[in-house]
Amino acid sequence: MGKPGNRPAHNVHCSFMYYYVYLLQSRKTNKFYIGYTNSLKRRLGQHNNGEVLSTKSSIPYELVYFEGFKSKKDALAREKKLKHHGQGLRRLKERLGNSIEQ
């Protein structure tokens, strides 16, 4: 048997998709946007390229927070809670502290 450091690396693959609820902050206005996606990189690009009507006027945006879910239903429920219940977003902002601009 070889030395432990000489063992071949095993590739680990995820066979499921994640769904994300994310919080963006405009660098222009400091306002927040909450959204849902299955691809954070693609969606942030869409926001910053002006492809999303509701955020187009405040680009550029920075991703300040996200949560990942294996269940699309759970992600959509969390997005709805953050968008429609001010207390949820307020608590999230409190938790983020120095990670967001006030």
Enclosing domain of residue 65: 16-75
Where are the strands (E) in 1-102, listed by range? 19-26, 32-37, 61-69
**Of 90, 89, 79, 99, nearest to 35 (Cα)?**
79
State how far the Cα of 17 lies from the Cα of 8, in Å rounded to an integer: 27
Domains identified in the chain, total number: 1
**Of 102, 99, 40, nearest to 67 (Cα)?**
40
Q: What is the pLDDT of residues 9-55, one digit of tens each?
A: 556 555 678 999 999 999 999 999 999 999 999 999 999 999 999 99
Q: Is 80 within a domain? A: no
Q: Is 84 within a domain? A: no
Predicted confidence band at 101 (pLDDT cuts at 50, 70, 90)? confident
Q: Is 83 within a domain? A: no
Q: Is 3 within a domain? A: no
Q: Is 86 within a domain? A: no
Q: Is 99 within a domain? A: no
Q: Is 59 within a domain? A: yes
